[in-house]
Chains A and B, each alone.
Chain A
Amino acid sequence: AQRVTQPEKLLSVFKGAPVELKCNYSYSGSPELFWYVQYSRQRLQLLLRHISRESIKGFTADLNKGETSFHLKKPFAQEEDSAMYYCALRGTGRRALTFGSGTRLQVQP
């Protein structure tokens, strides 16, 4: 079975502060990990994936297989980062994604 856990329902920070949204997963094989984001009144969209190893909008995420984590980080939060963030996993041989319950990030001015 595969599972994605996002322990924080809400994370509130001030503009300019560092952000870390936690994601832990449970999967016996080698998963693909993703972060999806839903801004207010917009549809869910891909933010980044671990295999790309890229930084999108200042966000990065590193897959830590030892800790089975894929935390999303940004050194300096911006107000426009306020959104709902979902961590997702794709297992080997399966195209569908398994999502976590999401973390709402609130960046205050």
Chain B
Amino acid sequence: EAGVTQFPSHSVIEKGQTVTLRCDPISGHDNLYWYRRVMGKEIKFLLHFVKESKQDESGMPNNRFLAERTGGTYSTLKVQPAELEDSGVYFCASSQTGELFFGEGSRLTVL
């Protein structure tokens, strides 16, 4: 069975541009999470979906970040407009009960 997949694996954009990251969770997993790791710092929670609903979005840094999960399947995380401090690795994870299963991450570089 395929694990959590993320696309793109690496994106390089200029400040002010828009980027959309996509996450496909493991089939049947209701819970989907977005995390971000900025260089040298901890993996920080961004938000949590249960099916298509936002259960907890307390970690979203500001309104330049928009996450959606239409239909309760895949999710997108859009950054618009991107700033330099948005650079980092964005991880997606999914779970059904306890254990979180992670994707390989999408590395975002904002120049």
A binding-site residues for B, Cβ under 8 Å = 4, 9, 43-46, 49, 86, 94-102
Kindly list chain A residues whose C-beta atoms are within 8 Å of the C-beta of B102.
Answer: 43-45
Contact B44 A43 (CB under 8 A): no
Kindly list chain A residues whose C-beta atoms are within 8 Å of the C-beta of B98.
Answer: 49
| Other contacts beyond A49-B99, A96-B33: 4, CB < 8 A | A43-B102, A43-B105, A86-B43, A101-B40
Contact A96-B48, Cβ < 8 Å, known A43-B104, A46-B100: yes
14 examples of A-B residue contacts, CB within 8 angstroms: A43-B102, A43-B104, A44-B102, A45-B102, A46-B100, A86-B42, A95-B31, A95-B48, A96-B56, A97-B100, A99-B42, A99-B43, A101-B40, A101-B42
- Could you tell me the distance between the alpha carbons of A49 and B35 in the complex, rounded to whole angstroms? 20
Interface of A is mostly: loop
Interface size range on B against A? 20 to 34
Looking at the assembled complex, report how far the CB atom of A26 sits from the nearest CB atom of chain B, in whole angstroms.
13
* Contact of A43 (CB < 8 Å), options: B33, B35, B43, B103: B103
Contact A4 B42 (CB under 8 A): yes
| B66-109 to A contact mask, C-beta < 8 Å, 1/0 | 00000000000000000000000001010100111111110000
* Among all A-B residue pairs, the 7 with the closest Cβ atoms: A99-B43, A101-B42, A44-B102, A96-B48, A43-B104, A43-B102, A96-B45
